[in-house]
A and B are shown apart, each in its own frame.
Chain A
C-alpha cells in the first residue's frame, strides 16, 4: 500500500541535461579537485607504527579488537590497521596532528560505512538513532580500539546491556519482576541501527513476543502464549485487538514493579 509517485520523466531528463552541462563547463575550465568524503587530499599510508607515537592509548590494545582480525599487513608498510578507518595518515603525521588531516569516525559515520555498507541503509530508515543527523556516533556504542566491538560478550568485563542502559536508564531496572528477555539483551527486540518499525522494534506485531512465548499450538485454532505456569492460555481473540504490549495487556515489557506478568 504505497501511494503513487509524483516525479515526472521530464523532471529527470531536464535535470540530467542541466547537470551534464554544468560538468562540461567545469571540466574544461577548472583544474582543481573535489573530494569525496571521507578523503584526506594528498595523503598516503604510513603504517600503524607512526600512529603509536602519539596515540599509544588507542593503538596499544588494537590487536585485541574485532577490527584487527580482518587486517592484512601491507608488504611495504606493515600493519595499516589504524589507517584502514582513519584514512592515510602522512599529512596528519607531518603536520603534527593538524585539524582536518585525518578521518575521524567519531565525527562522521562515513568511515564506518565503507565496510558496514548495510548500516547506512539501516540508519536511513524512519526509526533509528540519529547518527546521520550527527547527534549520536558509532563510537558512542562501539569500542573500536580494543576488545569486542559489541560490548559485553565473551570474557569482557562489561555487562551485555550496558551499551544501551547508560542512556536508557529507565529501562535498566532492577525490577521486582524482571522480563527474562532483558537477560538475552536489548537487541532481542530492538534493532539499534534502525528498523522499518516504530521504536526500532524487530517486528511491530505479536510475532515479536511469540517468538519466545508461543508455548504450544494448543487445540485447533488456539494461539497459546505466555502460559508458563502450567495452564494453557488461548490468546487468539486478544491478539485480534492488537499487540501483546497494548494498553490493558502486557504494558511493562522491560520489567514490572507491580505485576509478575509484566502487565503494568
Chain B
C-alpha cells in the first residue's frame, strides 16, 4: 500500500516540478497583489483549542489560552502641506493585552513631536521541578502567571538646519504582575529512603514566584551641534526607579516532623522528616541617577577624525526589605508556627559615582584602509550600607510557647575601581572582493574592596575583625577578533572570524582584616564561518558554523589548594538556510539549527566518598554530571500564488532537545531539558478588493515536555482570521 502511494507521490512530484519549471519560464511580473497601504486598519482574532497544560501553552506561544481579538495594527498617516506629516499607530488586542497608541507629527527641517503608550503581556507558568522516581509534580495553583510591561513616552525634537539639534524625551515604564522563579523549595516526597545518611530524600522541586511592582522613569535631553569641523553632543539624564518585588516560596509543603521524635529514624516514613516553612521576601529599592555626557567629533580631514567623550554619573539608592519565614513546629499541643531564621526592617542605601573618559582617533590614510585607536578610562566608587533585625525563635515543645529573639544587624561595603581600556580596530578592503578586519581590546581594572559582613552593633560598636574584609581587586579582560569577507564570485560569499577572550579576575585579601582569596582565569577561543551560495538566481543557501571552546581555572585558598581547572565548555552550532524561489508563484524558505553544547565542571573527578561509621559510601561523580544543552530546531515556510486574489502560506516548525537524565535522580535533582515540539500552519490571504484583504490560518501544534515528565504537554488546533482595510 505504502509503496504504491510513494510511487504516486514520486510521479506527481515529477509532473509538478516539470510544470513549475515551464510556468516559471513565463516570467511573471514581480508585483505583489498585497501591497502595503499608506493608512490601514487590521482587525484580527485568534482562538486556540488546547488539550493539556494551558499555562505551558500560554508561556510557549505567548498567547492567551482563551484566545483574543481586536485591532492588530492601525496606521494612519496624512501629509499637511509640503512639509508636515501626521502619523498615528495603534494596536488593541484584548486577551494578549497588547496595546499601542502612538501619535507623531513631523515638520521637515523643523522637528517632531511624539507621544505614545504601549503595553504587552508576557506569560509564565509556575511549574517547579519534576522528580521521575515517584512522579512528584507540585505546580502552583493556579499555574498560569503573567507580567505586564507598559511604557508611556513623550519626545520632542528640534531639527532646524544649521542650528543646534535638541531632543527631549520622557519615558515612564512599568513592570507589574507575577512570574515564576527557579529558586525552588524542598520536598521529601521523592520516594527516596531517609535512612542512608548523608544521602537525603529532599529535593528542591517546589515552585516559587515573584510578585513584581517595578517603575522606571527617565528624562533625557540631548543637544547636538556642529561648529566648523567639530560636532558637539551634550546629554543630560535623570533616571528614577522604584521597585518592590516580593518572592513567595514554600519549603517542605505539607510536612511535619513526628512528635516526640521516634527512637529509630528507620521507622519514620520518608515524608515526615522535615517541617513546612512558608516565607516571602520583599526587596524594595529606589534609585535616583543623574548623568551628564559630553562628546566631540572633529573631522580634521577625510583621513583623520578625532573623538572625545566625558561622562559623570551619580546614583543614590535606598532599599528596604523583609523576609518573614514561618516554620511549622511539632509540639505536645500540636503544630506551632514559629517565625524563625528571618529578618525584618531591612533598610539602607548606596551611592555610586562613575567618571568615564574616552578618546578615539580614526585614521584613513587610503580609501581602503582605516585604523581606529580608542582609549577608555573609568573611575567607579560604590559605597553601601544597611541594617536589619535578625529574628530567631525558640519553641518550647512541651508548652508550645514561642520565644522570639531579635538581634540588630549592621553591614557595609565600599568598592573603588579604576580601569583603562585601550582598543584598536583595523579594516582593509584593498584586495579585490575581500574585506579584512581585526580588533582587539584589553580592559585592565584595579581596585580595592572593603566590607563588613552583618554584625551586631549593640554588642560590637565596630565590626569585629572576623566580619571584616579587605580585598585587592583586579580584572583583566582581553578580546581579540580577526576576520575576513571574501566575495569569491557573484555566486559565493565567504566570511570567517576567529576570536579569543582571556579573562582574569582576582580578589585577594590583605592587611589585618584579611578578606578573600579568589583567582579566576578563563580563556575562550572560537570561530564563526558563514558561506552564502547563490547557486542560481532562484536558489541560495547560507551556512553558518560557530564553535567556541572555553576553559576556566580557579584558585581558592592557597597553598593548600592551588589553581584547579573548574570548567571545560564546548559549543558547536551549525545552521542552514535555504531560499528557493523556482518560479514567481512559489517560494520556500527552510532553516535548521543543530547545536551541541556541553559544560563540564567537577564531573567525573569528584570520586567516591568512602563509608564512615555514620555515613554510607556514595559516588560523588553522580552528584554532578556535565550539563548538556543540545537541541535541534527547524523552520519551513512556503508561499504560493493560488489565484489572482489568493496567496497560500504554509509553515512547519520543529524543536527537539533530549538532554534529560532521569538516571541522576538517586543522587541529585535530574537536570537537562528535554522536549519535542511540532507545529504546522496553513493560511490563505485573500484580496476582496483593492482596499480590503483578508487572511485565515489554521494550525496544529503538539508539545511534549520530557523535563516535566509530560505534565506540561499540550496539543491542539489554532485558528486565526484577520481583515485589513485601507483607510
A: which residues have CB within 8 A of B?
A: 1-3, 5-7, 9, 13, 16-17, 19-20, 22-36, 41-42, 63-64, 68-73, 98-101, 113-118, 120-122, 124-126, 130, 133, 135, 153-157, 159, 167, 169-170, 172-178, 180, 183-184, 195-199, 201-208, 210-218, 220-224, 227-232, 236-237, 239-243, 245-248, 251, 257-260, 264
Contact = CB atoms under 8 A, between A and B. Distances in A.
A221 B602 CA distance: 10
A72 B433 contact: yes
A70 B388 CA distance: 55
B330 interface: no
B200 interface: yes
A36 B587 contact: yes
B507 A196 contact: no
A70 B143 CA distance: 47
A228 B350 CA distance: 25
B82 to A, nearest CB: 11
Prevailing SS type, chain B contact patch: strand
B1 to A, nearest CB: 10
Contacts of A169: 214, 216, 241, 243, 287
B158 interface: no
A1 B434 contact: no
B336 to A, nearest CB: 21
A248 to B, nearest CB: 6
Given A2-B704, A260-B454, 9 more contacts: A35-B639, A71-B485, A72-B433, A115-B542, A133-B62, A199-B181, A216-B561, A217-B606, A245-B183
B591 A35 contact: no
B587 A228 contact: no
Contacts of A114: 542, 577
Contacts of B552: 211-212
A87 to B, nearest CB: 13
Nearest to B63: A133
A167 B475 CA distance: 27
B623 interface: yes
B503 interface: yes
Given A120-B593, A178-B415, A243 B437 contact: no
A259 B450 CA distance: 15
Given A204-B673, A221-B607, A215 B564 contact: yes
Nearest to A68: B427
Contacts of A135: 62, 98, 120, 122
B706 A124 contact: no
Contacts of B454: 258-260
B327 to A, nearest CB: 12
Interface stretch (B42-50, B370-378, B392-400): B370-378
Contacts of B30: 33, 35, 41-42
Contact of B591 (A117, A174, A227): A117
B675 A228 contact: no
A39 B281 CA distance: 51
A148 to B, nearest CB: 9
Contacts of A211: 552, 566-567, 569, 599, 601
B32 A203 contact: no
28 contacts: A5-B676, A19-B638, A24-B16, A27-B586, A33-B28, A34-B641, A36-B579, A71-B485, A100-B35, A113-B591, A117-B544, A118-B573, A124-B635, A126-B655, A126-B677, A172-B241, A184-B503, A196-B675, A204-B627, A207-B601, A210-B601, A217-B602, A221-B610, A223-B624, A227-B556, A230-B517, A241-B204, A242-B203
A213 B32 contact: no
Contacts of A212: 520, 522, 552, 554, 566-567
A130 to B, nearest CB: 5
B5 A117 contact: no
Interface in B613-664: 618, 620, 623-624, 626-627, 629-631, 633, 635, 637-644, 647-648, 650, 653, 655-660, 662
Given A169-B243, A211-B566, A33 B561 contact: no
Contacts of B13: 20
A122 B592 CA distance: 11
B596 to A, nearest CB: 12
A72 B485 contact: yes
Given A121-B593, A215-B564, A176 B386 contact: yes
A25 B16 CA distance: 10
B629 A197 contact: yes
A98 B38 contact: yes
Contacts of A156: 358, 376
B610 A213 contact: no
Nearest to B493: A72
Interface stretch (B254-262, B265-273, B314-322): B314-322
Contact of B556 (A205, A224, A242, A259): A224
B340 interface: no
Given A30-B644, A241-B203, A154 B421 contact: yes
Contacts of A196: 629-631, 657, 659, 673, 675
B608 interface: yes
A42 B602 CA distance: 58
A245 B599 contact: no
B321 A30 contact: no
A25 to B, nearest CB: 7
B246 to A, nearest CB: 11
A101 B577 CA distance: 24
Contacts of A24: 15-16, 19
Contact of B422 (A64, A155, A183, A240): A155
Contacts of A25: 642
B557 A227 contact: yes
Contacts of B633: 121, 124-125
Nearest to B452: A260
B194 interface: no
B183 A241 contact: no
B668 A239 contact: yes
B209 interface: no
B276 interface: no
A117 B542 contact: yes
Contact of A153 (B132, B206, B441): B441
Given A223-B624, A232-B557, A240-B199, A247 B251 contact: yes
Interface in B576-610: 576-577, 579, 581, 583-587, 589, 591-593, 595, 599-602, 605-610
B53 interface: no
Give the top 7 A-B pairs by smallest Cβ distance, nearest first.
A100-B36, A242-B204, A215-B556, A121-B593, A155-B374, A221-B609, A216-B561
Given A2-B675, A232-B557, A198 B182 contact: yes
Given A214-B554, A215-B564, A170 B200 contact: no
Contact of B183 (A172, A177, A184, A251): A251
A241 B200 contact: yes
B334 interface: no
B422 A176 contact: no
A231 B560 CA distance: 10
B146 to A, nearest CB: 12
B9 A258 contact: no
Contact of A183 (B23, B24, B475): B475
B311 interface: yes
A133 B120 CA distance: 11
A32 B453 contact: no
B608 A220 contact: yes
A163 B213 CA distance: 21
Contacts of A218: 561
A259 to B, nearest CB: 7
B183 A176 contact: no
A157 B451 contact: no
A113 B20 CA distance: 28
Contacts of A124: 633, 635, 653, 655
A253 to B, nearest CB: 9
A113 B543 CA distance: 12
A192 to B, nearest CB: 15
Contact of B643 (A29, A206, A236): A29
Nearest to A9: B2
